[in-house]
Amino acid sequence: MALPPPDPQFVLRGTSAAVHALHFSCDSQEPAVPVLFSGSENGFIHVWNLKTHRVDTPLDGHGRKSVYCVETMGGKDRLLSQGRDQRICLWDLAEGRTAVTDSVCTENVGFCRCSLLKVAQGRWLMAMAAKALEEVQVLELPSKTSVCTLKPEVGAKLGMPMCLKLWQPSCGSQPLLLAGYEDGSVALWNLSMGKALSQLVCHQEPVMSLDFDSEKAKGISGSSEKVLSIWSLDEQQNLQVYKTHKLVNAGISDITIRPDKKILATAGWDHRIRIFGWKKLKPLAVLDYHTATVHAVSFSDHKIPSQRLLAAGSKDHRISIWSIYTQT
Amino acid sequence: VSFTPGGLDCSISFVSHVLGKVCVHGRQKEILSVLVPRLTDLTKSDCIWQRICWRLVECVPDRWMEAVVLGFVQTAPRADVLSRLLGNLVVKNKKAQFVVTQKMLLLQYGHTAAVLQNLLGYLALDSLRRALLIKVLKELLETWGSSSAVKHSPPEQQQYISKAILICLSHLKEPEIESCRQELLTSVMEGVKCHLDSNLPQIRRLGMIVAESISSKINTDGPVLKFQYEEDDEARELKSLLVQTPPFCVVPSPPDDDRNEKADAALPGVLEGNKKSHPAAAVKPEEESDAELDSDDDLIPYDMSEDKELKTKAPVYIRDCIEVLTSSEDVDKWEATVMALESLVRKNPAAAREVSVELAKIVLHLEEKTCIEGFVELRQRAQVAILTADPIPVAKYLTSQFYSLNYSLRQRVDILDVLVLAAQELSCPKSHGKTKHSDVQKPYIQLLPGSDSSKDWRRIVDERIKSKTRRFATGRSQVERASGPNEFNSVAGHFFFPLIQHFDRPLTTFDLLGEDHFVLGRLVHALAILMYLAVNTVAVTAMGKVLLEFVWALRFHTDSYVRQGLLSCISSVLLSVPAERLLEDVIEELLETQSWLGDVVEKDPDGDCRRLALQNLLLMENLKKKLKTVPS
């Protein structure tokens, strides 16, 4: 007899709005406290203290417009947030400050979360959906200079970019970008040349979220339909469908692979979080706690494996924290 | 052969005289409690003593015979003992026969089942007396089946007769049943009809049990009559009378057997439990090793059996509900809508008000399409929600439909129940702002959906009447409730008057004063409750006046359930209408009612009616006293 699925380790309440984005920052040394950042629909970013399970600081920087992406830039003192007020804000949170140091005006009214990649000490690349409908713009931070603009070819009809992932191949060559589009296809872009290396139709519906394992050169994407699609990248940088997995209920809002590449979590429109083994996409658990759509899932970056956590933010204003498969 | 002390010369008749005189003076118990056991022992095997005993009772003069026979039947421990003591007295002596076959069975009804067993067993034990048994059975059935007896005799007597019938049946043998099969059948048919027609559930159940028993006896092969009724202790007791346990079956040490049996039953249970846990433990390690071989990571999946497809969501708007309920083919959606309807109506009263009458019409006619748990309650609660959201138009609609053609009895009774429940909700003060309506503590009346609402209601009103007669002038010591305006005030009249309007106008399918007296009974009870809830409303005096006239018109109704309702109406009027108003505006009706109440207390066959009438008279007395003490 299989065990029943575990209950959340704890639940964070107090956002009083739907939670759209989550990001952990936990690998700092003691006595610094592990922290979870959450972005809500009411424009606040809450900094959750994971020891006391309370909000340390609410950050109000997006004019009460929904915040749908939060990322840290090297430690929890530098935060990046993206909101529906068409701005990406950079925060300085060191020593208790809560100031927006810089902001980027995206002029984009979509929902596409930006993607960050650290390329050198103090230098990041950020990919975001640009003003024009189908374009993706890559900026360098903190200088805010544009690296390139990725335009699909005329007549490609990819639609809006829905999700982005910047990654760097392990052999140290140029960073690449994976983008999922409204028509259900995933494209691999070369940033230096500014053109698409490969394109693959993975879904019939828009790609809602994707994640990529650069070591195994395998990625997974979820859509508003019932299918999860796993694709791989061969030596010629061609995308190929590797496997598909059918779900019980339609709709995935977010997918994330754990940093140790052993398991992945999906956030579903059916209020459930599903855990799969990454190697063979074996279904491992269905966590049924939330009472509304789960918008975001995120794994923590604890150094000690047994402390690792999974966070899920939902439309029911709650963030559930789970401790699952931490022994491996 | 043993001889009596004092020789056989003692005249038996003298002893009989003494016995008779003592018994007729009421000392049956004392003398017979000594005499009967002694005689039982003596007559156990001795024929001479048996003859002596028979002579003894036969010589009792006629004027004292009844007392003696009654005493014997009551004191004898078992039927065979009675047989030994009395012999064929019933055959030889007319008076004894009358007492045993007529008086004890048909004219009296206070004896216990054990006495009945003795009596009828006694009749069954001898071939000469068996003819009497069959005669008795026929007479009992005739009484059981007569509609006037069912209507007018007290429920206790009817139960007594039913018990007697069942015991008789248990004694009958095959050839006897054969001979009177036809008569049994006809009387069952007639009797069942009268019983099922009654408004009191107890009478109905008695009829069902007896009919089932008779049918099982006369149709030993073939389909047997089977009714559906509540099986409680009373029913089981009645059914147990059908089976005769042989008198010598009493085992000396039953407690030991029971204990052993229980121990045996416990052991297998324990063993099974142990067995179950072992296989479970054995399976798990297997699964784990499987998992290890399967995937290289040793990640054990959790139980995902709960992961099913999401149910269809219920509509969020009331107009969508209307659409789904009237035309949708999708049964899942229909089910979800039915379950969500009440809460939707309560959350959106403004939207509900726009479509209230249409929604009320749809829900009134809603039939069960799929098998939902608690469908009847869901429908009723939805109707109550609609009625409280928009009382006046919906009440107008419902009361007009109550008197319309082509509704089933269930629907008409539903309308009454819904009106009463909504009235109760409207007249209750709402506590602490937003309340979850399903949690509201109904302070005085607990109304359960179902046919037994009248009983509970009566109990609570009786308590209130009692508290009033004890003059708790300051009311009960309860926490002060948050006060608010009485929402029932503006709509009480709309609930009440249309229901009374047409009661005497028969329609083709609905005749309150004729066949549908069941609905009339429910109507009367509903009016009583509405009257009770109208306390402190403006229309209460007018309502009281009209209600008393209604009661006056129906006061001689033959159905006891209706009469109980009428008496409850009077109680409600006395409790709700302020005393000064009663005195000024309603005094004539009150005086007429008082004289009728006096009549009911003395002559009504139903115990509950008499009790309610008495309480009403007490209330009136109190009212008079209260008015006298108040300086005018």
For range B30-54, the mean pLDDT: 80
**CATH code of the domain covering residue A139:** 2.130.10.10
What is the structure's pLDDT at B515? 78
* pTM beyond cutoff 0.80: no
Q: Is A246 on the interface with B (CB under 8 A)?
A: no
Instruction: Please write down the long-range contacts of B426-432, taking CB distance under 8 Å and 24 or more positions apart.
Output: B426/B388, B426/B391, B426/B486, B426/B487, B426/B488, B426/B491, B427/B486, B427/B487, B427/B488, B427/B533, B427/B534, B429/B481, B429/B482, B429/B483, B429/B484, B429/B486, B430/B482, B430/B484, B431/B481, B431/B482, B432/B482
- Distance CA(A140)–CA(A124), nearest Å, equals 6
Length of chain A, in residues: 328
Q: pLDDT category, B473, cuts 50, 70, 90?
A: very low
Q: pLDDT category, B10, cuts 50, 70, 90?
A: low
- Distance CA(A165)–CA(A117), nearest Å, equals 9
Q: What are the pLDDT digits (tens) for B70-120?
A: 888 888 888 888 888 888 888 888 888 888 888 888 888 888 888 888 888
Pairing of strands A161-167, A10-12: unpaired
Taking an 8 Å cut-off on Cβ atoms, the answer to whether B306 and A288 are in contact is yes
* Same domain membership, residue B174 and residue B70: no
Is the distance from CB of B614 to CB of B621 less than 8 angstroms?
no
Instruction: Please write down the long-range contacts of B318-326, taking CB distance under 8 Å and 24 or more positions apart.
Output: B318/B344, B318/B345, B318/B348, B318/B351, B318/B352, B318/B355, B318/B359, B319/B351, B319/B355, B321/B359, B322/B355, B322/B358, B322/B359, B322/B362, B325/B362, B325/B363, B325/B366, B326/B362
* Same domain membership, residue A117 and residue A101: no
Q: How many CA atoms are closer than 13 Å to the CA of B290, on its beta-carbon side?
A: 8
Pairing of strands A319-322, A10-12: antiparallel
Tally helices (H) and strands (E) across chain B.
31, 0
* Chain position carrying tokens 């508003």: A224
What is the structure's pLDDT at B297? 57
* Chain position carrying tokens 């092969």: B221
* Chain position carrying tokens 């009493």: B250
Asked if the structure places residue A156 within a domain, the reply is yes
Instruction: Look at residue B500 and tell me whether its pLDDT is greater than 70.
Output: yes
Asked if the structure places residue B520 within a domain, the reply is yes
Is the model more confident about B271 or about A146?
Answer: A146
What is the structure's pLDDT at B480? 58
Asked if the structure places residue A67 within a domain, the reply is yes
* Same domain membership, residue A220 and residue A178: yes
* Same domain membership, residue B85 and residue B5: yes
* Same domain membership, residue B53 and residue B6: yes
Asked if the structure places residue B320 within a domain, the reply is yes
Taking an 8 Å cut-off on Cβ atoms, the answer to whether A262 and B297 are in contact is yes
Structural domain of residue B507, as residue ranges?
416-428+486-631
Asked if the structure places residue B71 within a domain, the reply is yes
Q: What are the pLDDT digits (tens) for A277-288?
A: 998 898 999 999
Of B36, B61, B96, the domain-final residue = B96
For range B626-631, the mean pLDDT: 71
Q: What are the pLDDT digits (tens) for B235-270?
A: 888 888 877 765 443 333 333 434 444 444 444 434
Backbone angles phi, psi at B566, to 5 degrees: -60, -40
Asked if the structure places residue A127 within a domain, the reply is yes
Q: Give the bridge partners for B452, in sequence order.
A: none
What is the structure's pLDDT at B256? 40
Taking an 8 Å cut-off on Cβ atoms, the answer to whether B301 and A272 are in contact is no
What is the structure's pLDDT at A126? 93
Which candidate in B302, B308, B309, B316 is best for mutational testing of the A interface (most A CBs within 10 A)?
A: B302
* Same domain membership, residue A218 and residue A161: yes
Chain A residues with CB-CB distance to B310 below 8 A:
249, 270-271
What is the structure's pLDDT at A114? 92
* Same domain membership, residue B87 and residue B144: no
What is the structure's pLDDT at B299? 78
Is the distance from CB of A27 to CB of A50 less than 8 angstroms?
no
Angle at alpha carbon of residue A169, lines to A164 and A171, rounded to 5°? 170
Q: How many CA atoms are closer than 13 Å to the CA of B170, on its beta-carbon side?
A: 21
Q: Give the bridge partners for A33, in sequence order.
A: none
* Least confident segment among A94-98, A226-230, B258-262: B258-262
Chain centre distance of CA A171 = 24
* Same domain membership, residue A26 and residue A82: yes
Which candidate in B277, B284, B297, B312 is best for mutational testing of the A interface (most A CBs within 10 A)?
A: B297
Asked if the structure places residue A291 within a domain, the reply is no
Asked if the structure places residue A284 within a domain, the reply is no
- Distance CA(A45)–CA(A69), nearest Å, equals 10
Taking an 8 Å cut-off on Cβ atoms, the answer to whether A248 and B298 are in contact is no
CA distances from B283 to B129, B280, B389, B477 (A): 72, 5, 58, 62
* Same domain membership, residue A242 and residue A116: yes
Asked if the structure places residue B323 within a domain, the reply is yes
Angle at alpha carbon of residue B388, lines to B382 and B393, rounded to 5°? 100
Q: H-helix or E-strand containing B485?
A: none
* Same domain membership, residue B82 and residue B129: no
* Same domain membership, residue B116 and residue B14: no
Taking an 8 Å cut-off on Cβ atoms, the answer to whether B299 and A4 are in contact is no
Of B203, B220, B245, the domain-final residue = B245
* Same domain membership, residue A117 and residue A26: no
Asked if the structure places residue A150 within a domain, the reply is yes
Q: What are the pLDDT digits (tens) for B346-368?
A: 888 888 888 889 989 988 888 88
Asked if the structure places residue A325 within a domain, the reply is no
* Same domain membership, residue A166 and residue A75: no
Backbone angles phi, psi at B374, to 5 degrees: 70, 35
* Same domain membership, residue A119 and residue A240: yes
Asked if the structure places residue B564 within a domain, the reply is yes
Of A86, A105, A124, the domain-final residue = A105
Taking an 8 Å cut-off on Cβ atoms, the answer to whether A286 and B283 are in contact is no
* Same domain membership, residue A167 and residue A232: yes
**CATH code of the domain covering residue A75:** 2.40.128.630
Rg over CA atoms, chain A: 19
Q: Which 8-state DSSP code applies to residue B110?
A: -
- Distance CA(B154)–CA(B307), nearest Å, equals 60
Of B245, B271, B290, the domain-final residue = B245
Say which of A4, A270, A282 has its CB closest to residue B303.
Answer: A4
Taking an 8 Å cut-off on Cβ atoms, the answer to whether A328 and B297 are in contact is yes
Q: Which 8-state DSSP code applies to residue A306?
A: G
Residues 210-239 of chain B with CB under 8 A from chain A are none
Is the distance from CB of A211 to CB of B271 less than 8 angstroms?
no
Amino acid occupying residue B34: V
Structural domain of residue A66, as residue ranges?
14-105
Of A64, A82, A105, the domain-final residue = A105
Asked if the structure places residue B598 within a domain, the reply is yes
Pairing of strands A115-120, A99-105: unpaired
Instruction: Please write down the long-range contacts of A96-103, taking CB distance under 8 Å and 24 or more positions apart.
Output: A96/A57, A98/A57, A98/A59, A100/A61, A102/A142, A102/A144
- Distance CA(A259)–CA(B216), nearest Å, equals 77
Instruction: Look at residue A189 and tell me whether its pLDDT is greater than 60.
Output: yes
Considering its fold, how many domains does chain B have in total?
4
Q: Is B602 on the interface with A (CB under 8 A)?
A: no
CA distance A211 to chain B (A): 21
Tokens for A268, please give them. Answer: 């579903």
CA distances from B185 to B145, B172, B215, B576 (A): 11, 15, 8, 51
Chain A residues with CB-CB distance to B308 below 8 A:
248
What is the structure's pLDDT at B456? 59
* Same domain membership, residue A242 and residue A118: yes
* Same domain membership, residue A126 and residue A70: no
Q: Provide the b/e sequence for B432-464 (b: ≥16 CB within 10 Å).
A: eeeeeeeeeeeeebebebeeebbeebbebbeeb
C-alpha dihedral over B322, B326, B327, B329, to 10 degrees? 100
CA distance B321 to chain A (A): 22
Asked if the structure places residue A327 within a domain, the reply is no
Q: Which 8-state DSSP code applies to residue B398?
A: H
* Same domain membership, residue B137 and residue B30: no
Contact residues for B285 (Cβ-Cβ < 8 A; gap 6+): none
Instruction: Look at residue B207 and tell me whether its pLDDT is greater than 70.
Output: yes
Considering its fold, how many domains does chain A have in total?
2
Q: Is A100 in a helix, a strand, or coil?
A: strand
Is the distance from CB of A81 to CB of A68 less than 8 angstroms?
no
* Same domain membership, residue A180 and residue A118: yes
Is the distance from CB of B200 to CB of B560 less than 8 angstroms?
yes
Of A77, A105, A133, the domain-final residue = A105
* Same domain membership, residue B75 and residue B113: no
Is the distance from CB of A299 to CB of A258 less than 8 angstroms?
yes
Chain centre distance of CA B269 = 39
Pairing of strands A67-72, A78-83: antiparallel
Asked if the structure places residue B451 within a domain, the reply is no
CA distances from A236 to A197, A217, A232, A240 (A): 9, 12, 11, 11
Say which of A248, A272, A284 has its CB closest to residue B301.
Answer: A284
Helices marked H in A183-257 — which ranges? none
- Distance CA(B214)–CA(A161), nearest Å, equals 82
Is the distance from CB of B208 to CB of B195 less than 8 angstroms?
yes
CB atoms within 10 A of CB B623: 17
CA distance B296 to chain A (A): 9
Q: Is A2 on the interface with B (CB under 8 A)?
A: yes
What is the structure's pLDDT at B246? 56
Asked if the structure places residue B304 within a domain, the reply is no
What is the structure's pLDDT at B468? 59
